[in-house]
């Protein structure tokens, strides 16, 4: 029991209320609006794109330190992504990308 409580205590600093909305219109080679809902204590985050077929998520360098309170959306470029299903977004810790704050549901990127 003590071990479970200790583990929970270690994870609490990384808990966020951040919600990444699932994109509704993603077109390969174009731009896409990414939006979220943040609580007052949610930290800045890095935005990554992932897919079941990727060996690791793709870091969006222009979106490495997003302040979730400065705005509720950003526009990202999808230039390097092929049309396919199974994409999802991840909001991660800006200094330790191994810490995931939120994930969107899966979405499909269509051809132009």
pLDDT in tens, 25-34: 999 999 999 9
Instruction: Give me the residue spans of the domains in the chain.
Output: 15-110
* β strands within 1-112, DSSP E: 19-20, 26-27, 31-37, 46-51, 58-59, 73-77, 84-92, 100-103, 107-110
At 110, give phi and psi (nearest 5°). -95, 165
pLDDT in tens, 74-83: 999 999 899 9
Q: Domain 15-110 carries which CATH code?
A: 2.60.40.2840
Contact, 96 vs 25, CB < 8 A?
Answer: no
The pLDDT, as a whole number, for residue 16 is: 74
pLDDT in tens, 22-69: 999 999 999 999 999 999 999 999 999 999 889 899 987 678 899 999
pLDDT-derived band at 14, boundaries 50, 70, 90 = low
């Amino acid at each position: 029991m003590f071990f479970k409580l200790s583990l929970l205590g270690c994870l609490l600093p990384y808990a966020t209320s951040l919600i990444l909305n699932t994109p509704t219109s993603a077109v390969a080679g174009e731009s896409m609006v990414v939006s979220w809902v943040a609580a007052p204590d949610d930290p800045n985050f890095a935005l990554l794109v992932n897919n079941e077929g990727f060996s690791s998520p793709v870091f969006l360098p222009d979106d490495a330190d997003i302040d979730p309170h400065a705005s509720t959306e950003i526009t990202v470029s999808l230039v390097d992504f092929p049309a396919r299903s199974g994409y999802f977004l991840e909001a991660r810790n800006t200094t330790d990308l191994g810490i995931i704050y939120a994930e969107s549901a899966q979405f499909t990127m269509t051809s132009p």
